[in-house]
């Protein structure tokens, strides 16, 4: 099954084979939402391209979080008649904290697909690793 790049990003899949999952557990396992496979379970691609590779995902996370804050401000302003600044702060912080598992994953998935310099391969060679 050939997935588009958008489908691979939405599904949290490997940028090379677009089949293997980047994360070991589902997002709702709140104590393990951040655990990634070291290598793709399908094609064996090493996800961390170099030491500290995913530090750059912080910038993507910052953009996603800024989007959450802006959307919250617009909704509160127009639908709730511009409430107190404390409401803006409280609602924004609550939504940011609740969205951490999603923004963490989304930022890493987007980052690896945009900046890993890994191209899609129809039938990538399978590389076996002892600590997948």
At residue 129, the pLDDT reads 64
pTM score: 0.86
For 95, the enclosing helix (H) or strand (E) is helix 85-98
- The domains of the chain are located at 5-115
For 115, the enclosing helix (H) or strand (E) is helix 100-115
Mean pLDDT for back-to-back runs of 10 residues, the chain (132 residues): 86 91 91 92 88 92 96 95 94 95 95 89 71 55
Distance CA 63, CA 47 (A): 22
């Amino acid at each position: 099954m050939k997935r588009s790049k958008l489908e691979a990003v939405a599904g949290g899949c490997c940028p090379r084979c677009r089949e293997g999952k980047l994360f070991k557990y589902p997002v709702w396992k709140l104590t393990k939402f951040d655990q990634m496979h070291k290598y793709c379970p399908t094609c064996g691609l090493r996800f961390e391209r170099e030491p500290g590779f995913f530090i750059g995902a912080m910038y993507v996370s910052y953009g996603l979080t800024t989007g959450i804050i802006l959307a919250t401000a617009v909704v509160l302003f127009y639908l709730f008649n511009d409430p107190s600044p404390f409401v803006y702060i409280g609602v924004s912080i609550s939504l940011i904290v609740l969205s951490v598992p999603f923004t963490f994953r989304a930022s890493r998935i987007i980052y690896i697909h945009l900046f890993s310099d890994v191209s899609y391969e129809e039938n990538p060679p399978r590389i076996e690793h002892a600590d997948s």
